[in-house]
Amino acid sequence: MVVELQTNVQARYNGQSEPVVNDFTLMVATKNGSGSQTSNEVLIRSLFRMGIPVGAKNLFPSNIKGLPTWYSIRASKDGYVARRAVSEIAVAMNELTAAEDIQNLPPGGVCILPKEWKWGQRREDIVYYEVPVKETVAAAAVPADFRDRISNMVYVGVCAQLFSISLDIIRQALLDTFGGKEKPAMMNFGVVERAYNWAAENLEKVDPFRFEPMNETAGKILISGNEAAALGSLFGGMTVAAWYPITPSTSVIDGVLDYRHLRRDPDTGKETVAIVQAEDELAAVGMIIGAGWAGARALTATSGPGISLMAEFVGLAYFAEIPCVIWDITRTGPSTGLPTRTSQGDLLFLYTLSHGDTRHIVLLPASVGECFEFGWRAFDLADTIQTPVFVMSDLDLGMNIWMSDPFAYPEEPIKPGKVLRQEELEAFISEHGEWYRYKDYDSDGIAYRTLPGTDHPRAAYFTRGTGHNEKAAYSERSEDWVNNLIRLHNKFKTASELIPQPVTDYDASKSIGIITYGSNDPAVEEARDLLAADGLETNYLRIRALPLTQDVIDFVLNHKRVYIVENNFDGQMHQILRMEIPQDNRHMVSLALGDTLPMTAQWIQAQITRLERQPVQEK
């Protein structure tokens, strides 16, 4: 194939001399389904083993085989893991995107590509390393079936040589990746080694990029948000998971399948977690509502289209006060949108999901650690508040691999909430002389519930989505309706004290604040450093759940300017903040990206710098 470049050729590469160590991004462009996932994982694991902080972003198409996919690995000695828009190194293995991939390199960048390709034009300001991929694989005498997939190991070997990863570490990483299985690991390693040696003999290193061992990853783990969510849920006492497959949420349930053995009854070998693949999302959410009503800790995981389909049922659960947990791993919408691209576009919709006056709790994890923590905590909250709890993660957080401290064991025992089992009901009735399902005995808006199966003649009550009074009896009376809604309102207020509170870095001397939530956190943290280096000091508040609390409002009001950074198009958190803040809030500036990609620090920095350096226009 012939790679055609646009003609705006930059300055000739001038053999940059200053070495760049552990602070650049390597991007691998391949075709989907070609097996590059494995080689990329080997690369990232190797760097991790070298003690270098790493971040990974997988940009893949909605397709099973053949369309372009990009995997970028950021090494950052300073520990930044957000996406960078620019990659210094491109491993261009997909002829369909090679021209673009090369075009996107910065001056001084590096391109590794198959030797076999022909060229239209060349950029003169970058370095090329041409690699005989086919030959190398052929020489390795790999069984024909494996040849295609294994050819990705060629670039692993070349990169190892060029950027200084030891073969030993690669071997270890291969073993990790293949779950300790020697045979496939060694077959792959054979190709890596061959490529490594070929590169040593045939390539002259002229670029400045290099990895060097550090000690920043010891004791840390590498894991995806969805796996973390699955584990958190398993440690949270989940007993029912019902789901319908949808990208990018499927791997939450895959994680549950992978680790449910942790909860398998050791005596009988039977499962304590029911995993039901439903026929669609309406059924999935119906199942967890049925299960939650019966007393299970029940979860579903889905994405935007599924959320839309769940709207009616979620309203029922809200109004009938049934606990359940719904993970929304968001992708780009509206509509089917881009299933394999990230976004935070469901926020406002989740918050007000279902017709009528409804309002929901939405947890907003920002890290794999929080995915784990909110994984178990969501059940405690749902049971305590007797309501559906949403956890909004996103494709970036959920499907990419992230570095993290090991997860902390839940510091609190499982909280079943106000459930009256047989004896408790007995005790309750002897104390109060009565028990009514929807009566607010504790003035916190939260009533006591019983579970079906409770062997007590007064345990039963009637659950319905229609009007009811305190006694759970059908009622069309206006007063009953209003009283019930008032109690639900109070319950929501109680909830706002129980949900994860915002994380704040505040110093009264600073006049600029940044607010964000979810997976933007690393980009914001990095941007703050960049801004500070440029003389713009910022305070920071990260919202960890809806409804908003007074802290958030105070934070907004206490600044001269507050930037709301989020990854959707409409600036939905900004809108929610406006809904909650009646005071003049023209100093609140929406930085809403929504360009389908994970947030970058550079974008945030550029926006804030631009706006701070010139008078802010009213938005």
Ligand X SMILES: Cc1ncc(C[n+]2csc(CCOP(=O)(O)OP(=O)(O)O)c2C)c(N)n1
Residue list 39-78, contact with other proteins (CB under 8 A): 62-67
Q: Radius of gyration (Cα) for the chain, nearest Å?
A: 27
Nearer to a second copy, 221 or 311 (CB): 311
Q: Which does 323 bind (CB under 5 to 8 A by kind): a second copy, ligand X, other proteins, none?
A: none
**Binding residues with other proteins: total (CB under 8 A):** 91
Q: Which of residues 96-115 bind a second copy (CB under 8 A)?
A: none
> Of the listed pieces 283-291, 349-357, 445-453, 523-531, which binds a second copy according to CB under 8 A?
349-357
Q: Does 315 bind a second copy (CB under 8 A)?
A: yes
Q: By the 8 A CB rule, do 363 and 544 touch?
A: yes
Task: Find residue 26's DSSP bridge partners.
Answer: 73, 89
> Minimum distance between the CB of residue 201 and a second copy, rounded to whole angstroms?
39
> Minimum distance between the CB of residue 356 and other proteins, rounded to whole angstroms?
13
Q: By the 8 A CB rule, do 399 and 336 touch?
A: no
Handedness of CA 448, 453, 454, 459 (dihedral sign): positive
Q: Which of residues 591-610 bind a second copy (CB under 8 A)?
A: 594-597
Amino acid identity at 574? H
Q: By the 8 A CB rule, do 554 and 515 touch?
A: no
Instruction: Give 457's contacts (C-beta < 8 A, 6+ positions apart).
Output: none
> Minimum distance between the CB of residue 300 and a second copy, rounded to whole angstroms?
15
Q: Which does 307 bind (CB under 5 to 8 A by kind): a second copy, ligand X, other proteins, none?
A: a second copy
> Minimum distance between the CB of residue 246 and a second copy, rounded to whole angstroms?
11
Q: Does 234 bind other proteins (CB under 8 A)?
A: yes
Q: Does 546 bind a second copy (CB under 8 A)?
A: no
Q: Does 550 bind a second copy (CB under 8 A)?
A: no
Amino acid identity at 395? L
**Closest C-alpha to 288, from 357, 332, 238:** 238
Q: Does 254 bind other proteins (CB under 8 A)?
A: yes
Sheet containing 539-543: order of strands: 503-505, 539-543, 512-517, 561-566, 588-592
Handedness of CA 108, 114, 115, 120 (dihedral sign): negative
Length of the chain: 619
Handedness of CA 51, 55, 61, 63 (dihedral sign): positive
Nearer to other proteins, 149 or 542 (CB): 149
> Minimum distance between the CB of residue 229 and ligand X, rounded to whole angstroms?
18
What Å distances lie between residue 517 and 179, 380, 449, 544, 573, CA to CA? 34, 22, 33, 6, 9
Backbone angles phi and psi of 352, in degrees to 5: -120, 25
Instruction: Give 8's contacts (C-beta < 8 A, 6+ positions apart).
Output: none
Q: By the 8 A CB rule, do 596 and 342 touch?
A: yes
Q: Which of residues 359-398 bind other proteins (CB under 8 A)?
A: 376
Q: Which of residues 486-525 bind other proteins (CB under 8 A)?
A: none
Backbone angles phi and psi of 40, in degrees to 5: -65, -40
Q: Does 572 bind a second copy (CB under 8 A)?
A: yes
Choosing from 20, 139, 203, 221, the residue that interacts with other proteins (CB under 8 A) is: 221
Instruction: Give 178's contacts (C-beta < 8 A, 6+ positions apart).
Output: 184, 185, 188
Q: Does 336 bind a second copy (CB under 8 A)?
A: yes
Q: Does 311 bind other proteins (CB under 8 A)?
A: no
**Binding residues with a second copy: total (CB under 8 A):** 70
Q: Does 383 bind a second copy (CB under 8 A)?
A: no
Q: Does 349 bind a second copy (CB under 8 A)?
A: yes
Nearer to other proteins, 191 or 353 (CB): 353
Choosing from 45, 149, 341, 487, the residue that interacts with a second copy (CB under 8 A) is: 341
> Of the listed pieces 256-264, 428-436, 521-529, 590-598, which binds other proteins according to CB under 8 A?
256-264
> Of the listed pieces 196-204, 332-340, 437-445, 450-458, which binds a second copy according to CB under 8 A?
332-340
Nearer to ligand X, 204 or 279 (CB): 279
Choosing from 215, 430, 443, 466, the residue that interacts with other proteins (CB under 8 A) is: 466
Chain residues that interact with ligand X, rule: CB under 6 A: 244-246, 281, 305-306, 309, 336
> Of the listed pieces 423-431, 454-462, 464-472, 499-507, which binds a second copy according to CB under 8 A?
464-472
- Long-range own/partner contacts, residues 250-253 (CB < 8 A, 24 or more apart): 250/301, 251/224, 251/226, 251/227, 251/398, 251/399, 252/226, 252/301, 252/327, 252/329, 252/398, 253/301
Contact residues toward a second copy (CB under 8 A) are: 61-62, 67, 304-305, 307-309, 311-312, 315-316, 318-320, 330, 332-341, 343, 345-346, 348-349, 352-359, 464-467, 476, 478, 481-482, 485, 489, 568-570, 572, 575, 578-586, 588, 594-597, 618-619
